[in-house]
Chain A
Amino acid sequence: MIDFDTMVKKAKASWNSLHDQKKPVIFAGAASCGRAAGILPVIEQLKELSKKIPLDIIEVGCIGPCYLEPIIGIQIKGEPTILYANVQPIQAQELVENYLVKNDPQPDKAIGTIGEGKIEGIQSFWEHPMIKDQVRIVLKNCGIIDPANINHYLAMDGYQGLKQALAMKPEDVIEKVQESGLRGRGGAGFPTGLKWKFTRSEKEPEKYIICNADEGDPGAFMNRSLIEGDPHAVLEGMVIGAYAIGASTGYVYCRAEYPLAIDRFEKAIAAMKKHGLLGENILNSGFSFDIQIKKGAGAFVCGEETALIASIEGERGMPRQKPPYPSQEGVWGKPTVINNVETLGTVPVILREKSSWYTKYGTKQSKGTKTFSLVGKVKRTGLIEVPLGTTLRKVIFDIGGGIKEDKGFKAIQVGGPSGGTIPSAFIDETLDYEELTKLGAIMGSGGVVVIDEDTCVVDLAKYFLQFIQAESCGKCVPCRVGNKQLLDLLVKISKGLGNIDDFELLEELAFTISQGSLCGLGKTAPNPVITTLTYFRDEYKAHVIDKICPAKVCKDLFLYQVDAETCIGCEICRKRCPVGAITGEKKQPHVIDFEKCIKCDVCSTNCPAKAIRKIDKVSVKIVSN
């Protein structure tokens, strides 16, 4: 086995040669998000092209602004890489040809440059409005390096943290992680160093470490992106953790719906073994450790640590009551550390740098940075990383660019389906564990959904609850039955069938479910209801008392009507209506038959004059013939 320093020297040389090589290099953002946006046909096209023009194509992970994908970067020797967004196959070929052959960097089509040097008319990518307020620590390598190439990771100071750790006493490693203030990024924010310390102090010598890569929140993709873009960081963190607590086996629990992430992990593990970074006697330290990958069937509850352990043991993914905590009795009944992907991905840099380096980011109690998936009605969506304590305003308006179509900003939902809905009034509050809890939300794994004025909070709460009640493991009464009753109540209210007593029932159920449930899923399930009920009570009242959905989302509470004044009689709506609910002559105002209309919204979206309105059902007296 070659020694570590030689290994790094070689890796650095190979990384540098990639940038110094004569042949141009195309970096293609080929994580799942890029693939969904259509990067693979682009890559195919460029491969064809490479038969004519010499090119190297390298697949990298996601660099963040998902709304700009597919993204490619073109690097020619001596110049910074130029990133182009929203590329399609033909267009990509043109971009490459124009730049490589005609030497035209097409600044109008570029979104930024990466690397040293400047190209006229193109700003640095790091100055991009979505990027410039971010602090990329965990995501440092994502979108930059080839995740399947361990040399790239090594060239970026990879495994330096592990090397340092192995030279320290395990207790000191734990001490350092404690000093960094790192808290679990998987939800509850438990101090990572302390969790390791507890586990290490258990008498039972056989211990395990688990990387929780279940990521069940719908719409969350932070962990997936990190794995797909930089799997070695996560695995390095895991080896460090294993050394610190004294584990000789680790499990990566990854949902089977993440095939690319699993593939990245598998390749990374194989490469680690080849380089002596995993297996027997890691880096000649005498420490041995191995990692197995377990695929999860994709139940949300399997992200809960005790359910996850049951699932690894081949049982139904059902949580069990804590204590005993996994640190006392985890997988196979042995002391076990479970950490989130991002938590582990942060560990290497903590070991590599001085403690004070990491603690300079974040707030007093929430140190460092956190990734968030920014989605919903915001202009710039994608994966972001900001210091904990960043204001919502900065995230939504500076990074996210504000609300889509410049509509009104209503709220954000933080922490996934069982997070809380925070109204726009709290725009200057900050994203950190304490503040979010205070507002009734949770950090969760970091899903941020931006909600605009067109969203109905009853509908929103209903949507989240629908998900949660279907994902309940069914073990305990408050969660299994309570959430169903809660959902039914919301459905009833959204249909205009609620009555004033329902408020009491909603609150009673929220109390019972949150206080009575066994695991975090149930305990947090009513959060969307509790927060919307607290912050948007008037909107509930409108549904319950006035039978009005102010946002015009709850279909039972509004009707479509053609505004006779505005209608230009173009006949489009009449022709498109799937149920023939619209009548009207050419150039004459059209009329919608309420009773036939199925509220499919087709007429409204297609009307060139925007003459189709939603009106409150209660405002119309329907005379049935």
Chain B
Amino acid sequence: MLVINGNQVPYEEGKTILEIARENDIYIPTLCAHERLPSFGACRMCMVKVHGNKGFMNACTTKVKDGMVVTTESLEIKRLRRSIFELILSEHPSSCMMCAQAEHCDKFNSGIMKAGVITGCNTCPNKETCELRKISDALNFKTIRFPMFYKHLPIERNDPFFDRDYNLCIHCGRCVRVCQDVEGASILVFTHRGHDTKVGTSFEKPHIETDCKFCGQCVDVCPTGALSARNQKWYETPDEQVSTTCLLCDKGCRFQIDVKWGRMVGMRPDPEYKTLETGICVKGRFCLPVLLNNMDRLRFPRIRRNFKLYPTNWDEAAAKVAEIFENYPPSKIALYISPFLIDEADYLFTKIASDLEITNIFRSKEDLTNINKKGIKVLYTTEGLPNLDKYKSLEKIILQEVFSADGHDFADVILPAAAFTEETGTITTNHGIMTVEKVVKAPDLALEDWKIVAKIAQELDLSGFKFIETSEIQGEMKRLGIKGKTRGVEEHYLKYRGTAIADKVPDFKILIEARKERDKLW
């Protein structure tokens, strides 16, 4: 039997008081506890009383036992928690929380003020997710009796991807634990002693000089604005959050993406998805929004006329492709299917190929040697390929891409594709079949790969391509017993389709340049 606040509650042996309280909707303020991390017991916000024990016990490390009688709210507990919280705030730039004008300020001062130094919540990039503010509200906190102390630590902005302002750090140790226990990296550690204790790398090295993976897990678990991803600051509450699967490699990491103004503004590992505990990579965590929000995206279909590529609409572009297909025998046509397509698009390509009796289906760069061998005249590729001008037999090139990648300048038709964050479907990963969710709209006329195939098929009067949703394609695949395959893209592959990620994401370039010498992975 377990009693919390006078009520008998169901419990499971081996769980902590905090876990049981949460399961039963009993609020206990916490700052260092995090559901993905081993408990630490540092913030002392979760203090409760256990009947028969003299002092207070912290709920986040104390395991429940049969017969335990727990009190989570009392005057004495409140006094202790408030006092501890007051101590935390005495070393955190929290003036905005105490400010008498805070309500007005929040209402009329739209947007966070960008500032080099964070002096309060209204200059803090993480204001909206800040857990201190939530607790402050819950405790209805209004004053601090202790002198305020600003640590005057240098703000660390000399690394790619994320900034660190340890003047905001409350020493909850989440970043230290996630780095050590989840990422297995141990880059972040506690340094110094006593009141000078701080979190950081050993010897205060920049992260780029350590073995930091820039997985961003530390940023994601930080309850304050101490750690912030540089490219996703200042956007306040997102309009929407959508979870999807990263397609940049076969690992199949799930992300939750913040959407604002129709663009991806930030992302973090999907908290609902446990397989992430094997670690996530910098490409997914930090590069995606910068990569895919990029201005260099292909936005309009183009057709070559008089040696120049002119923008056009989809009907004309599809008709052009159809025309090319009709003008060449299938044996002289080849399809290059990029590993970065969702399973449904991949299937539709193989389907159209078989309908048109095209047998030259290439899936890797090595397959390209067949162009010369077989005297291929038409190449329809779904990713930019290098040195296409070297294949003398090629007469027509159709490029379906997200970016104006290699081969763009030799193409006869350009088909702008939606990125995987702009379409719905499934992909097969190391974790099995996972869903891809449409997070944002594709830019301008860019279209999902499978829709482009369907359009071309229509132009060719092929039947069996009239799909409205990918779920219908999935249904057909299931009926035919066709399964997606993992695509053989390993974690440290540097491209998305035909484009080097580093070309579009400057911070990533800094990283791989810096690590080239010593980090064999990249």
Interface of A toward B, CB cutoff 8 Å: 299, 316, 318, 320-321, 323, 469-478, 480-485, 488, 505, 508-509, 511-512, 515-518, 523
Asked if B194 and A512 make an inter-chain contact with CB atoms under 8 angstroms apart, the answer reads: no
Give the contacts of B160-202 with A (CB-CB under 8 A). 170-171, 173, 189-190, 192-198
Partner of A321, one of B61, B88, B194: B61
Whether A477 touches B195, Cβ cut-off 8 Å, given contacts A505-B145, A516-B80, is: no
Asked if B44 and A476 make an inter-chain contact with CB atoms under 8 angstroms apart, the answer reads: yes
Q: Which 5 A-B pairs have the closest CB atoms?
A: A474-B197, A321-B41, A470-B194, A321-B61, A512-B83
Asked if A478 and B147 make an inter-chain contact with CB atoms under 8 angstroms apart, the answer reads: no
Asked if B197 and A512 make an inter-chain contact with CB atoms under 8 angstroms apart, the answer reads: no
Q: Mark B30-46, 1 if CB is under 8 A from A, else 0.
A: 00000000011111100
Partner of A477, one of B79, B88, B146: B88
Whether A475 touches B42, Cβ cut-off 8 Å, given contacts A321-B58, A515-B80, is: yes
Whether A512 touches B80, Cβ cut-off 8 Å, given contacts A316-B190, A321-B58, A518-B42, is: yes
Asked if A476 and B42 make an inter-chain contact with CB atoms under 8 angstroms apart, the answer reads: yes
- B-chain residues with CB within 8 Å of residue A470 when the two chains form the complex: 193-195
Closest B residue to A471 by beta carbon equals: B194
- A-chain residues with CB within 8 Å of residue B61 when the two chains form the complex: 321
Asked if B193 and A478 make an inter-chain contact with CB atoms under 8 angstroms apart, the answer reads: no
Bound-complex Cα distance A484 to B147 (A): 11
Q: Does B462 contact A (CB under 8 A)?
A: no
Q: List 24 A-B contacts (CB under 8 A).
A: A320-B41, A323-B62, A470-B195, A474-B171, A474-B190, A474-B192, A474-B193, A474-B197, A475-B190, A476-B43, A476-B44, A477-B171, A478-B44, A478-B84, A480-B194, A481-B90, A484-B149, A484-B195, A485-B87, A485-B90, A505-B145, A515-B55, A516-B84, A518-B58
Q: Does B465 contact A (CB under 8 A)?
A: no
Bound-complex Cα distance A508 to B40 (A): 25
Asked if A472 and B193 make an inter-chain contact with CB atoms under 8 angstroms apart, the answer reads: yes
For B63, B80, B90, B194, the residue with the greatest tally of chain A CB atoms inside 10 Å of its CB is B194
Partner of B195, one of A299, A320, A480, A509: A480
- A-chain residues with CB within 8 Å of residue B198 when the two chains form the complex: 474
Bound-complex Cα distance A523 to B44 (A): 13
Q: Does B406 contact A (CB under 8 A)?
A: no
Whether A481 touches B43, Cβ cut-off 8 Å, given contacts A473-B193, A475-B173, A515-B80, is: no
Bound-complex Cα distance A512 to B190 (A): 23
Bound-complex Cα distance A517 to B43 (A): 9
Interface of B toward A, CB cutoff 8 Å: 39-44, 47, 55-56, 58, 61-63, 79-80, 83-84, 87-88, 90-91, 145-147, 149, 170-171, 173, 189-190, 192-198
For B62, B84, B147, the residue with the greatest tally of chain A CB atoms inside 10 Å of its CB is B84
Bound-complex Cα distance A540 to B87 (A): 24
Asked if A299 and B171 make an inter-chain contact with CB atoms under 8 angstroms apart, the answer reads: no
Bound-complex Cα distance A508 to B198 (A): 25
Whether A481 touches B190, Cβ cut-off 8 Å, given contacts A516-B44, A516-B80, is: no
Partner of B44, one of A483, A509, A518: A518
Asked if A474 and B195 make an inter-chain contact with CB atoms under 8 angstroms apart, the answer reads: yes
Asked if B147 and A512 make an inter-chain contact with CB atoms under 8 angstroms apart, the answer reads: no
Bound-complex Cα distance A299 to B149 (A): 25
Bound-complex Cα distance A484 to B146 (A): 11
Asked if A512 and B195 make an inter-chain contact with CB atoms under 8 angstroms apart, the answer reads: no
Whether A480 touches B190, Cβ cut-off 8 Å, given contacts A320-B41, A505-B145, is: no
- A-chain residues with CB within 8 Å of residue B63 when the two chains form the complex: 323
Closest A residue to B196 by beta carbon equals: A474
Closest A residue to B54 by beta carbon equals: A515
- B-chain residues with CB within 8 Å of residue A323 when the two chains form the complex: 62-63
Whether A472 touches B56, Cβ cut-off 8 Å, given contacts A478-B44, A481-B90, is: no
Whether A481 touches B195, Cβ cut-off 8 Å, given contacts A516-B47, A518-B42, is: yes
Bound-complex Cα distance A122 to B486 (A): 95
Bound-complex Cα distance A481 to B63 (A): 27
Closest A residue to B85 by beta carbon equals: A477
Supply 9 further A-B pairs (C-beta < 8 A) apart from A475-B40, A477-B170, A515-B56.
A316-B190, A472-B194, A473-B193, A474-B195, A475-B171, A477-B42, A484-B195, A485-B90, A518-B41
Closest A residue to B79 by beta carbon equals: A511
Asked if A469 and B194 make an inter-chain contact with CB atoms under 8 angstroms apart, the answer reads: yes
Asked if B87 and A477 make an inter-chain contact with CB atoms under 8 angstroms apart, the answer reads: yes
Expressed in whole angstroms, the minimum distance between the Cβ of A504 and any Cβ of chain B is 9
Closest A residue to B89 by beta carbon equals: A481
Bound-complex Cα distance A488 to B195 (A): 12
Bound-complex Cα distance A456 to B327 (A): 103
Whether A469 touches B195, Cβ cut-off 8 Å, given contacts A477-B84, A481-B88, A518-B41, is: yes
- A-chain residues with CB within 8 Å of residue B170 when the two chains form the complex: 477
Whether A299 touches B193, Cβ cut-off 8 Å, given contacts A475-B173, A488-B147, A511-B83, is: yes
Expressed in whole angstroms, the minimum distance between the Cβ of B136 and any Cβ of chain A is 15
- A-chain residues with CB within 8 Å of residue B56 when the two chains form the complex: 515-516
Asked if A474 and B194 make an inter-chain contact with CB atoms under 8 angstroms apart, the answer reads: yes
Asked if B42 and A485 make an inter-chain contact with CB atoms under 8 angstroms apart, the answer reads: no
- B-chain residues with CB within 8 Å of residue A320 when the two chains form the complex: 41
- A-chain residues with CB within 8 Å of residue B41 when the two chains form the complex: 320-321, 476, 518
For A477, A478, A483, A508, the residue with the greatest tally of chain B CB atoms inside 10 Å of its CB is A477
Whether A318 touches B90, Cβ cut-off 8 Å, given contacts A515-B56, A517-B44, is: no
- B-chain residues with CB within 8 Å of residue A508 when the two chains form the complex: 83, 145
Closest A residue to B192 by beta carbon equals: A474
- B-chain residues with CB within 8 Å of residue A475 when the two chains form the complex: 40, 42, 171, 173, 190, 197
Bound-complex Cα distance A569 to B198 (A): 56
Expressed in whole angstroms, the minimum distance between the Cβ of A305 and any Cβ of chain B is 15
- B-chain residues with CB within 8 Å of residue A473 when the two chains form the complex: 193, 197
Partner of A481, one of B62, B91, B189, B192: B91
Expressed in whole angstroms, the minimum distance between the Cβ of A34 and any Cβ of chain B is 32
- A-chain residues with CB within 8 Å of residue B79 when the two chains form the complex: 511
Bound-complex Cα distance A282 to B147 (A): 61
Asked if A512 and B87 make an inter-chain contact with CB atoms under 8 angstroms apart, the answer reads: yes
Closest A residue to B146 by beta carbon equals: A485
- A-chain residues with CB within 8 Å of residue B196 when the two chains form the complex: 474
- B-chain residues with CB within 8 Å of residue A484 when the two chains form the complex: 149, 195
- A-chain residues with CB within 8 Å of residue B195 when the two chains form the complex: 469-470, 472, 474, 480-481, 483-484
Closest A residue to B176 by beta carbon equals: A316
Closest A residue to B41 by beta carbon equals: A321
Bound-complex Cα distance A471 to B194 (A): 5
Expressed in whole angstroms, the minimum distance between the Cβ of B274 and any Cβ of chain A is 24
Asked if A478 and B87 make an inter-chain contact with CB atoms under 8 angstroms apart, the answer reads: yes
Bound-complex Cα distance A523 to B56 (A): 11
Bound-complex Cα distance A323 to B197 (A): 25
Asked if A471 and B193 make an inter-chain contact with CB atoms under 8 angstroms apart, the answer reads: yes
Asked if A485 and B147 make an inter-chain contact with CB atoms under 8 angstroms apart, the answer reads: yes
Expressed in whole angstroms, the minimum distance between the Cβ of B110 and any Cβ of chain A is 34
- A-chain residues with CB within 8 Å of residue B80 when the two chains form the complex: 511-512, 515-516
Closest B residue to A484 by beta carbon equals: B195
Expressed in whole angstroms, the minimum distance between the Cβ of B59 and any Cβ of chain A is 11
- B-chain residues with CB within 8 Å of residue A481 when the two chains form the complex: 87-88, 90-91, 195
Bound-complex Cα distance A256 to B313 (A): 78
Expressed in whole angstroms, the minimum distance between the Cβ of A315 and any Cβ of chain B is 10
